[in-house]
Structures are given as C-alpha cells and as structure tokens.
C-alpha cells in the first residue's frame, strides 16, 4: 500500500511529482523515489525514510518533463534505499512505480533470471520491471509490453511504467489498487488518489480494474487488459470537487489536532439537507432503495476495517436500539475470507473513510457477486468502494489526512444516527421520538464545539497517564465500542499498549492484570447501565487500579474514581459522538508527551489498498 504519481507534459516534472507525493505521504511514508525521463535517459532517485530524505538527494533543477514517483509502505522487503520505488530493470530501460502485491513474483523471478535479468532489491515489484523489459523485446511498444506482462501476473496493482525509448509516454494499469488520471492543459497526470492531482487539475477519470491506459501530454487511451475485449476508449473526465485548504494543516501543529477540531463543522455537513422536520425523519439522496425495499430487510450487517469497523459496530448498536432490527458489524477482512452466507433479506453496509480499503472493497464485491444488496458509507467521493456500491451515504467529512481517523469516525456515527432515525420512522418509531432525535442531532455540532473549545484539562490528564506502559478501556454496549476506539487511538499514536474489554468481561480474565501500574478508562454514558459501571469501577479499585471515568454522569462524589472527564449529555443516539473527543484528545496529548510522530505513526498507513 503506497502512493504513486506520474506526470507527462510540458512542465518540469520533478516539482509536480514532489507536490503530488507530499499529498500522498499518508498512504505510506517509509521510503520514496522519483524516476525522471528526458529524451532517452531515465534518472532514478530514491531513499529510505520520509519524503524530506528524498529531497536532500535531488538536484536543484531537472529538465525532465516526464516522470513517475512513489511513496512506500513496505510489504515485501524492508524499507531500504534499494527496496524503494521506482524500480528499473537491470538494463535500465524500464522504470515502474507499483502499488499492490505480485503474488507469483518468486516464479517470475526464476524465469527472468534464466533470461539474463538480475535483481537489486527484495521486492516483488522489481520483477514487474524486468518482465516488462523482457516483453518489450517481442511487443515493440511499452503499451503492448505492459499488457503482455500483466497477463502473466497474479496479484494486485496500481502501476505506472516508463520506457527509455518512449520519453513522452506513461502507461498505467489498475487491478485492485486505485488509479486516477488527471487531464490538464497540455499535460496528463496520474496518481493513486485525487489529492495528488487537484493542485494541477480538477478534470479526472478513474480507471477500473482490468484497464490499462496510455498517457501522453495531449492524449489518453484506455484499453481493456482482457484479450477478448481489445477495444480502445477515450473517456470523458469528470470534475472533482476538492477543497485544498481542508487538506492543509492551517495553523495547527498536526493534522490530527486540526481534524479533531474540525468535527463540529464536519458534523454540520453530514446533517446538512438530511433532516426532514415535517415528517420527523431523515432523508438521503443516494440510497437508491425505495421504502418498500428497505422495509423488506430483516437484518443489517455492517462491514469495515480498523476504525471503520469499530464505527460500524457502534452504528449497528444504534440501529438495533432504535429500530429493533437485528444489526451487527464484522471486520470486512474476516468476512470476505469465511465464504460468507449472503442473505437477501439482509442489508449490508460497507464503511470506509478512503473508499479504497482493499478488504472492504473485496467484501463488497463478494456480497454483490452473491446477489446481496450493499450500501457504502464512505467519505471520499468517487472512490472505489463508493463506485462499486453505486449507492449509499457520503459522509462529507472533508479530507482526512492524519493516519488515525477522528472526524470521519464522528461523522460515520452521525450518519448511522440519521440512518437509524430514517429506518426507525419507517418502522414503528413515533413522530415524538423522531423529533427528539432531530433535536439532539441539531444540537450536536454546537455541543461538540463547546466541548472541544478547552482541551487543557485533557492535556494535563494525558500528561499524567502518558508514562504508564499499558492501559485498559472498558465500557458496555455502545460504550464498549467507544472503549475499542479509545484503546486503538492510544496504541496507534502513543504506542502505549491499550486493550479494550467489555466492562462485564473484566472479571472473566483481565482483572488478573489490574494493579497500580495499569490505569483503566471507563466509558460511562448516562444510561440505565450506570450502576453496573459503578460496580466495575469498584472491582478495579479493589485491585488498586487507577480509574479514569469518561462520563456523562456526575462522578464528583465517587471516591473510587481517580480522575473524571465530564462529557455533556445528549440523546442515546448522539451520546457516543459526544463521548468521543476526550478519547481522541487523550491519545493525541499522550502521543505528544511521549514525543511520537502523531500524524504518521510507525508501521501504519492511512488507507490500506493491499490484502
Ligand atoms: C487503516 C488505517 C485506519 C483505518 C482503516 C480503514 O488501517 O490506519 O485508521 O480505520 O485503514 O480505512 P478506511 O479508509 O476503509 O476507513
């Protein structure tokens, strides 16, 4: 999982590629590289580490007007200079940047070695460069050589390729890893994400799996990789709507903090135009399902990975609580590997910020292949999952750049609250209950604005707890989902070992580990489980464990609570959203205290487009 960017046109390619890569660094940041082509010469610069490390290697100026770049998240081969992309075949003719995994790389490497190719890196991608060079001999053009090579490859790719003898041409292909072409004025760009294109053009076209495109400054041609579908097409670009200012840090030190702070406006955008005060319900423009069809579903199953999976689990609890329709969530990766039974009276929903997570996309395809109905709950407009689903709910959270999900998580919960209202009112929820939910949702952005305005107490609390080596997060029902998200955030960016547990399960094992060195964060909504949560706190305190209550209930008179974070009260559908910011701030400030790289934590990437 990596970022790729290519340029062919009349400008100097190097600054364009660097700008593109800087916008893709969230996709991977353990090494980066550029291949720059001018006339019949390709120069490659690559370096382990962040993009800044690559910059130190580059010439001040370079006249190349064609080039490709890559920012890497290592899967095959350690993050070293040699393993960084672009990769070149041993004769130096072909240069490629590849996102994905070549599954039969071992076999191909053996074959290519017998054909006289040698290899400098441990990567599967380098094999592809050699294979294209090998095929070029027979095929006579880069397009034909890449086509022939990809027919021999098993695996996934978002690919860019250049050949020394075709200096004004880039070939790109897609299978399971996104590729977007940007059509400029006498220039063509290509990248794994529109974020890299929008500083230069808003005219984009998306490649589909199984397609290959030939790009020159003025021209693009799209072909199918299937031998039986040899047709060539020119596709009309669509205009992408992308607010570049939302993708910059502004006055904030980190994207993480900026994105936490943006949550009130992001929530306003999720809600905008979706509340129906007349019928006390919600409406969505993109579900493409009639009420009659929606009423025929007997269950809801939500799929996602990482934070999207956790948000889905809280969403499922909200839907089930509100509509009395059985709902649950499952990891998209687990789901797709267990040959799932697809039920036609189950509505599937796929949650993804990027809309590109490979496991989630594949789960969607599996559902559709078996005749199921799946809606996307996606942030990035036009992304692969959104297009594959063809219907669903856009979050409109705006670009999220920090690796950890913050505003998107809040917006996903808000979208599920709206969906629960919509489904509930279609079933047996009264108008009065609908109105109560609408009131709570309408107040939500302002409540959160007030809540995040003064994070200093949370900063002090995070500083106090940042030096523990481990922590528990516990809760019940939606509170357990929040405990999972709180623990995930903390471990991802501060590297404190944090584990989430249902509060009720504490006594069935984890209590053995509670001692004065193990703080527990207890998530306590103001609900009918309050007394149960208080007895959990007593259990922890009996074992001398420090207790931090993240609570909507008044904890001021509770001697067993060492520290309390007071959270404003909303409605059961908005409470999970209001309980979220303290967990985000705790992780953020703990990471700062431990001097961690908050926006780009080690070993992680924002969107995982490989298996
Ligand atoms: C990666 C990220 C997580 C994210 C997950 C799903 O693992 O590090 O923060 O939650 O992917 O991403 P998606 O774009 O599908 O929401």
Cβ-based neighbour number of residue 94 at 10 Å: 31
> Could you write out the DSSP letters of every residue in 180-238?
EEEE-SS-EEEESSGGGTTTT-SEEEEPPTTEEEEEETTEEEEEESSTT---EE--PPE
Rounded Cα distance between 522 and 184, Å, is: 53
CA atoms within 13 A on the CB side of 29: 24
In sign, the C-alpha dihedral spanning 174, 178, 179, 183 is positive
Q: What's the average model confidence in pLDDT over 450-456?
A: 93
Instruction: Note the pLDDT of residue 225.
Output: 87
Minimal-distance CA residue to ligand 1 atom 9: 404
Rounded Cα distance between 445 and 268, Å, is: 6
Rounded Cα distance between 310 and 300, Å, is: 15
Cis ω for the linkage preceding 86 (within 30 of 0):
yes
Instruction: Note the pLDDT of residue 345.
Output: 97
Substitution site in 357, 380, 399 for ligand 1 pocket (most atoms within 8 Å of beta carbon): 357
Q: Is the pLDDT of residue 232 over 80?
A: no
pLDDT digits (tens, 9 = 90+) for 469-490: 999 999 999 999 999 999 999 9
Mean pLDDT check: name the lowest of 18-27, 232-241, 408-417, 443-452. 232-241
Q: What's the average model confidence in pLDDT over 87-104?
A: 93
Substitution site in 256, 308, 587 for ligand 1 pocket (most atoms within 8 Å of beta carbon): 308
357 Cβ below 6 A of ligand 1? yes
Ligand 1 nearest-atom number relative to CA 354: 14
Instruction: Note the pLDDT of residue 567.
Output: 94
Q: Are strands 373-378 and 392-394 parallel, antiparallel or unpaired?
A: parallel
Rounded Cα distance between 590 and 456, Å, is: 13
Q: What is the mean pLDDT of the chain?
A: 92
Residues in the chain: 611
pLDDT digits (tens, 9 = 90+) for 277-325: 999 999 998 999 999 999 999 999 999 999 999 999 999 999 999 999 9
Calculate the CA dihedral of residues 126, 127, 133, 137 and round it to 10 degrees.
170
Yes or no: say if 570 and 443 are a contact pair by the CB < 8 Å rule.
yes
Q: What are phi and psi of 150, to 5 degrees?
A: -70, -25
- In the three-class reduction of DSSP (H, G, I as helix; E, B as strand; rest coil), residue 511 is classed as helix
Give the pLDDT band of residue 241 (cuts 50, 70, 90): confident
CA of 407 to the centre of ligand 1 (A): 13
Yes or no: say if 28 and 208 are a contact pair by the CB < 8 Å rule.
no
Q: Is the pLDDT of residue 230 over 70?
A: no
Q: Give the predicted TM-score (pTM) of the model.
A: 0.81
Rounded Cα distance between 584 and 590, Å, is: 10
Rounded Cα distance between 329 and 313, Å, is: 5
pLDDT digits (tens, 9 = 90+) for 157-207: 999 999 999 999 999 999 988 899 999 999 999 999 888 999 999 999 999
- Least Cα distance to 298 among 333, 318, 328 occurs for 328
pLDDT digits (tens, 9 = 90+) for 367-422: 999 999 999 999 988 889 999 999 999 999 988 888 899 999 999 999 999 999 99
Yes or no: say if 608 and 358 are a contact pair by the CB < 8 Å rule.
yes
Q: Is the pLDDT of residue 584 over 90?
A: yes
Give the pLDDT band of residue 74 (cuts 50, 70, 90): confident
CA of 362 to the centre of ligand 1 (A): 15
Rounded Cα distance between 487 and 165, Å, is: 53
Give the pLDDT band of residue 229 (cuts 50, 70, 90): low
Yes or no: say if 126 and 118 are a contact pair by the CB < 8 Å rule.
no
Mean pLDDT check: name the lowest of 41-45, 320-324, 541-545, 591-595. 541-545
352 Cβ below 6 A of ligand 1? yes
- Report percent pLDDT > 70 for the chain: 97
Yes or no: say if 200 and 184 are a contact pair by the CB < 8 Å rule.
yes
307 Cβ below 6 A of ligand 1? yes
Ligand 1 nearest-atom number relative to CA 304: 15
Active-site residues, by number, are 2, 606
Instruction: Note the pLDDT of residue 243.
Output: 66
Give the pLDDT band of residue 346 (cuts 50, 70, 90): very high
Which structural domains are found in the chain, ordered by start?
3-242 (3.60.20.10), 247-452 (3.40.50.10490), 457-593 (3.40.50.10490)
Give the pLDDT band of residue 263 (cuts 50, 70, 90): very high
360 Cβ below 6 A of ligand 1? yes
Cβ-based neighbour number of residue 575 at 10 Å: 24
Q: What's the average model confidence in pLDDT over 224-244?
A: 76
Ligand 1 nearest-atom number relative to CA 405: 9
Rounded Cα distance between 307 and 587, Å, is: 14
3-state SS track over 380-410: CCCCHHHHHHCCEEECCCCCCCCCCCCHHHH
Instruction: Note the pLDDT of residue 1.
Output: 59
149 Cβ below 6 A of ligand 1? no
Rounded Cα distance between 575 and 527, Å, is: 10
362 Cβ below 6 A of ligand 1? no
361 Cβ below 6 A of ligand 1? no
Yes or no: say if 33 and 70 are a contact pair by the CB < 8 Å rule.
yes
Instruction: Note the pLDDT of residue 244.
Output: 64
């Amino acid at each position: 999982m990596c970022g790729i960017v290519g340029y062919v046109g009349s400008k100097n390619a190097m600054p364009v590629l660097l700008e593109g890569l800087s916008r893709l660094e969230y996709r991977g940041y353990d090494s980066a590289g550029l291949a720059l082509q001018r006339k019949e010469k390709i120069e490659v610069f690559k370096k382990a580490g962040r993009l800044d490390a690559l910059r130190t290697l580059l010439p001040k100026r370079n006249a190349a007007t064609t080039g490709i770049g890559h920012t890497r998240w290592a899967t095959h081969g350690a993050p070293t200079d040699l393993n960084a992309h672009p990769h070149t075949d041993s004769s130096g003719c072909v240069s490629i940047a590849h996102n994905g995994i070549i599954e039969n790389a071992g076999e191909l490497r053996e074959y290519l070695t017998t054909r006289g190719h040698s290899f400098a890196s441990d990567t599967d991608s380098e094999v592809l460069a050699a294979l294209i060079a090998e095929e070029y001999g027979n095929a006579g053009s880069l397009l034909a050589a890449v086509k022939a090579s990809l027919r021999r490859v098993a695996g996934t790719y978002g690919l860019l390729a250049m050949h020394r003898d075709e200096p004004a041409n880039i070939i790109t292909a897609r299978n399971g890893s996104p590729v977007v072409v940007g059509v400029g004025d006498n220039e063509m760009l290509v990248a794994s994400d529109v974020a890299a294109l929008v500083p230069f053009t808003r005219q984009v076209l998306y490649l589909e799996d199984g397609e290959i495109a030939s790009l020159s400054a003025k021209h693009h041609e799209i072909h199918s990789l299937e031998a039986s579908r040899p047709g060539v097409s020119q596709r009309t670009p669509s205009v992408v709507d992308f607010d570049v200012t939302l993708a910059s840090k502004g006055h904030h030190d980190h994207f993480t903090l900026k994105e936490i702070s943006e949550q009130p406006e992001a929530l306003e955008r999720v809600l905008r135009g979706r509340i129906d005060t007349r019928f006390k319900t919600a409406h969505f423009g993109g579900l493409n399902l009639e009420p009659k069809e929606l009423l025929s579903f007997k269950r809801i199953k939500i799929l996602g990975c990482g934070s999207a999976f956790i948000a889905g689990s809280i969403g499922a609890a909200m839907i089930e609580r509100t509509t009395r329709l059985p709902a649950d969530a499952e990891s998209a990766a687990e789901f797709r590997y267990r040959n799932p039974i697809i039920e036609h009276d189950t509505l599937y929903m796929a949650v993804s910020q990027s809309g590109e997570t490979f496991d989630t996309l594949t789960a969607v395809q599996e559902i559709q292949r078996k005749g199921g109905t799946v809606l996307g709950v996606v942030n990035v407009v036009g992304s692969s999952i959104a297009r594959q689903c063809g219907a669903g709910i856009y979050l409109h959270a705006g670009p999220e750049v920090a690796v950890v999900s913050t505003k998107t998580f809040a917006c996903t919960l808000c979208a599920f609250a709206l969906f629960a209202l919509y489904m509930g009112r279609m079933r047996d929820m009264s108008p009065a209950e609908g109105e109560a939910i609408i009131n709570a949702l309408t107040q939500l952005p302002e409540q959160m604005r007030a809540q995040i305005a003064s994070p200093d107490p949370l900063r002090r609390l995070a500083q106090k707890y940042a030096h523990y080596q481990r922590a528990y997060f516990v809760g019940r029902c939606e509170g357990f989902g929040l405990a999972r998200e709180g623990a995930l955030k903390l471990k991802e960016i501060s590297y404190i070992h944090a584990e989430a547990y249902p509060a009720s399960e504490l006594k069935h094992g984890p209590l053995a580990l509670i001692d004065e060195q193990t703080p527990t964060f207890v998530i306590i909504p103001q609900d009918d489980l309050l007394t149960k949560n208080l007895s959990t706190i007593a259990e922890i305190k009996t074992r001398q464990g420090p207790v931090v209550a993240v609570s909507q209930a008044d904890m001021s008179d509770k001697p067993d609570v060492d520290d309390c974070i007071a959270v404003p009260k909303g409605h059961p559908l908005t409470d999970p959203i209001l309980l979220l910011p303290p967990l985000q701030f705790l992780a953020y400030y703990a990471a700062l205290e431990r001097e961690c790289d908050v926006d780009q934590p080690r070993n992680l990437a924002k969107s995982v487009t490989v298996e």
